Amino acid sequence: MTSGVYRWMLLVVCALALPSVAWADWGALNMPVGVTEISGKVYELHMRIFIWCCVIGAAVFAVMFYSMFKHRKSKGAVAADFHESTTVEVLWTIVPLVILIVMAIPAAKVLIEMEDFSDSEMSIKVTGYQWRWQYEYLDQDISFFSQLDSASNVARQANSTVDPASIEHYLKDVDNALVVPVGKKIRFLHTAADVIHSWWVPDLAVKKDSIPGFINENWALIEKPGVYRGKCAELCGRDHGFMPIVVKAVSQEDFDTWVGEQKMKTASADMDAIRQWSQAELMATGERVYAANCMSCHQKEGQGIPGMFPAIAGSDIVNGDMDMHVHTVLNGVPDSPMQGFGSSLSDVDLAAVITYQRSAFGNQAGDILQPSHMRSLRQGLRQSALAVPQNNLKGVN
């Protein structure tokens, strides 16, 4: 069917439903066609079944309304007495069945194509965390985390003075986008570190659950360079609405350049981790890390939410022995929303945020944790993962 017919059907549906159509944003009405062959086919299926539904609905309602206007007692209608007819009943069982078969065949075809993971040219492992994504390029040996951008993060806080409308991609932007080349069949491997998430990018027509302990497969072959935005689609806790996905599709040359830059970054991060940091530097970095990772539960002033999320301000752990503090941040607290940040934050970030927490919000511990020390602690932990953490961390100060 032509796109003109689609538009017309859409118009009828809208006009039926709503008084204020003219006022609303027309861009946000339908499924995107997307930028992969599959997403185009999915869109086509969606429109085809939608048209069938409109036609069936229109036919049924037309008969109903005709009957309701014509066969009224007030118009002198006298009730007939028929109450069965094998012919019609067989007919209206068979006809829908035929329509279903007509619909099921193309749907099955597209589904089979979607499930064909063979011949992929590169693989990216996507791990869901509460509430960020980790991307690992298995062929390029690049790995990084991607989370809500800071502009959205400020505006989305309760009682924020920033108008969400003033931010262009409110809740749809991240700090580090997933950069991929166009024209390559990319295999995504989905898993999660804590609870189930779901990685959804409408323009690529991919949505697959990230399940802790299991790996799901998916793929996309992006045809057009551009920025494609998505969301976590499976309820994953407090900040489920705040872990967007940004896929930046670029040409192969641009992708290669980007890969080079990433390698450089990793090298300089290594340098950072071994040099000595001043308290002021650590505090500044720590404040940024806190805002991005801790604030949504423990709140802006470290006051927490009573009953749900403990306060950082005046906390026994933060003001007490640093061993326990490091242990809590690294490994989290079992059976609670407090996750371990050991695998998601760098040594610099961990050292900075711990240092920050111990001096901010009126906390009195005031001591410093150097990134280099953090690194050795972490390596020590890895070697004896089963040991009691306090013993492992002795001598931190």
Minimum CB separation from another protein for residue 136, in Å?
19
Query: Counting contacts by CB under 8 A, is residue 212 touching another protein?
Result: yes
Query: Counting contacts by CB under 8 A, is residue 294 touching another protein?
Result: no
**What tokens does 70 get?**
């014509």
- The span of 132-140, 159-167, 219-227, 387-395 binding another protein (CB under 8 A) equals 159-167
- The span of 81-89, 284-292, 346-354, 374-382 binding another protein (CB under 8 A) equals 81-89
326 contacts 354 by C-beta, under 8 angstroms: yes
Judged on CB neighbours under 10 Å (0-12, 13-18, 19+), 15 is exposed
Minimum CB separation from another protein for residue 155, in Å?
7
Query: Counting contacts by CB under 8 A, is residue 64 touching another protein?
Result: yes
Site string for another protein, 23-62 (x = CB under 8 A): xxx-xxxxxx-----x--xx--xx--xx-xx--xx--xx-
Query: Binders of another protein among 161-190, rule CB under 8 A?
Result: 163-165, 169-172, 190
Query: Counting contacts by CB under 8 A, is residue 274 touching another protein?
Result: no
Of 152 and 370, which has the nearer Cβ to another protein? Answer: 152
What's phi and psi for 83, nearest 5 deg? -145, 10
Pick from 120, 123, 157, 343 the residue near another protein by CB under 8 A.
Answer: 157
Tracing tokens 């066609």 back to the chain, one arrives at 33
DSSP-assigned letter for residue 394: T
Judged on CB neighbours under 10 Å (0-12, 13-18, 19+), 127 is buried
**What tokens does 16 get?**
């039926």
**What tokens does 281 get?**
């530097």
Residue 188 CA to residue 206 CA, distance in Å, equals 10
Minimum CB separation from another protein for residue 295, in Å?
13
Pick from 127, 134, 146, 198 the residue near another protein by CB under 8 A.
Answer: 198
320 contacts 393 by C-beta, under 8 angstroms: no
Query: Counting contacts by CB under 8 A, is residue 63 touching another protein?
Result: yes
Query: Counting contacts by CB under 8 A, is residue 151 touching another protein?
Result: no
Length of the chain: 397
Query: Counting contacts by CB under 8 A, is residue 105 touching another protein?
Result: no
Residue 89 CA to residue 166 CA, distance in Å, equals 58
The residues that bridge with 227 in the sheet, in sequence order, are: 248
Query: Binders of another protein among 355-374, rule CB under 8 A?
Result: none
Of 284 and 305, which has the nearer Cβ to another protein? Answer: 305
Pick from 35, 179, 220, 231 the residue near another protein by CB under 8 A.
Answer: 231
Query: Counting contacts by CB under 8 A, is residue 9 touching another protein?
Result: no
Side-chain half-sphere of 382: how many Cα atoms within 13 Å? Answer: 8
